[in-house]
Every structure is written in C-alpha cells, then in structure tokens.
Copies of this chain bind each other. A is one copy, B any other.
Amino acid sequence: MKLHEAPSPNARRVQVFLKEKGIEAPPSVAVDIRGGENLTEAYRALNPFGRVPVLEFDDGTCLAESVAICRYFEGLHPEPCLFGAEPLEQALIEMWNRRAEINFMMPAAQAFRNLTGFFKDREKVSAEWGAISLEIAADGLTRFDQALTDRQFLAGDGFSIADITFGIALGFAQQIKLELPFDLPNIARYLAQIGARPSFQEG
C-alpha cells in the first residue's frame, strides 16, 4: 500500500486523520503538482480526475478522495471514532463535514485559484469569479462563527472529521492570505484550539 500525495489541503486531511487515529501512514509517493505530474497519463491511470491524494493498494486498486480514504481507515480502526457511531450522529457529522467543504473550503479554493491564477498554465481562470468566491467564503465564515457560539467543535462536543476539514481549510486560507474575517470571535477561538492539536503540527 502506498499514498500518492503532495503538499495540499486534501492530502493534509488524510495525514491529520491518520495522526488522530494513531495509524502509521503508508509509504508516501510525492506527486509534483507544480510540474503537472498529476495531469500525466501515468497519474491519470491511478486517478482519471488528476487529484491527490490516492491510496494505492498492492493489488492495484486505487482509492481517491481524501474523505473516502479517511472513511476506509475508520472502518478498519473504529477508535477514536471520527465519523460518528450511531446513525444520527454519523449523519450530523457528515452534514457538518459537507458544510465545511461546500460553504468554505471549496469557495476559498476557487478564490485562490481564480484570483491568483496559480494554475493558469493549465486551467482557465476568472478573476471575476475569484472575487465572488471570496465573498461566498466570507459569508460562510460568519455562519460558522454563529454555529460555534454554543459548542466546542463543529458537529458538537466531540472532535470529528468535520473539524479536520474546517481546521485545515481555515489554516490554508490564512496561509495564502485570503482577505477573510478570521478574527470573528468564535472562529478565532476555534482556530487557536484546533491549531494546537498535536495532529495539526507540520512534519
């Protein structure tokens, strides 16, 4: 088994998840995204959609999508439980994980790619859409701030995959200096709290 990855928020979701679970990470294969290795025919044989990470099994089966990889490891190692135990708890965690993706992680990524043109050698970009995406991400942040008023973590009192998604997306958005209201009171508290977890330390 090996893990094809690159420095990216999605690859980091799997790395943090494995640390939280206490699972040793599979041997890593570096993918040179800057050089376009993920768009080569060889890489698309692993993942036709050209994204990282990909978990490649010894029989050649390839599992892509960071949350799918995390869910696989959750099935093998249920504790500590990061996707929820009972049906309603599982569903509420899935809801918050998706909200973090749809209402913050994805618009922040579209703002980054379209405003900076970071991948403009390989994809068309629209600065107009970048600006709109930044507003969507900012609106999302204010709603997450409200939701975090009465709870420690996104899906309630327990740390979950939703916090891995949201914590990493927030950290990435700060790192690339998106102009977003990171100083909203509950967002600031949440960022400090999540960022202090051992699993979130780099290296």
Known A-B contacts A126-B128, A132-B124; A94 and B75 likewise in contact (beta carbons under 8 Å): no
A61-105: which have CB < 8 Å to B?
61, 63-65, 67-69, 71-72, 74-76, 86-88, 90-92, 94-95, 98-99, 102-103
Known A-B contacts A126-B132, A129-B128, A146-B48; A91 and B69 likewise in contact (beta carbons under 8 Å): yes
Interface of A is mostly: helix
A64 to chain B, nearest CB (A): 6
Q: Kindly state the separation between the CA atoms of A63 and B88 in the bound complex, as whole angstroms.
A: 9
Q: Kindly state the separation between the CA atoms of A99 and B63 in the bound complex, as whole angstroms.
A: 11
Q: Are A91 and B75 in contact (CB under 8 A)?
A: yes
Q: Kindly state the separation between the CA atoms of A76 and B76 in the bound complex, as whole angstroms.
A: 21
Which residues of B have CB within 8 Å of A31? none
Q: Are B135 and A95 in contact (CB under 8 A)?
A: no
Decide yes or no whether A118 CB sits under 8 A from chain B: no
Decide yes or no whether A119 CB sits under 8 A from chain B: no
The residues of A with any CB-CB pair to B shorter than 8 Å are 48-49, 61, 63-65, 67-69, 71-72, 74-76, 86-88, 90-92, 94-95, 98-99, 102-103, 106, 114, 124-126, 128-129, 132, 135, 140, 143, 146-147
